[in-house]
Amino acid sequence: MSYRTHISLTAILGASVTRVWRLLSNRQKVNCLHNLTDAQLHDIGLTRSDVRRASQISFLVDPTRVLNSWARERSLAAQLPDPKPVLQSPPLGDPKFTDMTSCPAPRLAA
């Protein structure tokens, strides 16, 4: 085994240990979110169901990244303007809309 391979294996092992440690630490932090009130969760852009769902995802997925993504999506959606209201057709048989004599005739362009 060459020196270069030895360093690579050590780096891979160290990165793996670091990743597992970070996953465990972040899972513990997500579990602490269960203790917050709904108002506190709302302040950070989350709901109680978000925290529950994040707690139940695969062990190999970092729940804090998922929660961050959901909170960011919710924040961006809140910044979008309200969609224009959809025009609804009048109810059938409504006398206000069935009498067409009060409507002006369309003008043709000359």
Share of the chain above pLDDT 90, in %: 32
Q: What is the pTM of this model?
A: 0.57
Asked if 63 and 55 count as a contact pair (C-beta separation under 8 A), the reply is: yes
Q: What mean pLDDT is reported for the chain?
A: 81
Segment 54-76 mean pLDDT? 90
C-alpha span between 17 and 64 (Å, rounded): 18
Given this model, what pLDDT does residue 52 score?
A: 93
- pLDDT for residue 47: 92
Alpha helices in the chain (DSSP H): 3-33, 38-43, 48-55, 63-79, 95-98
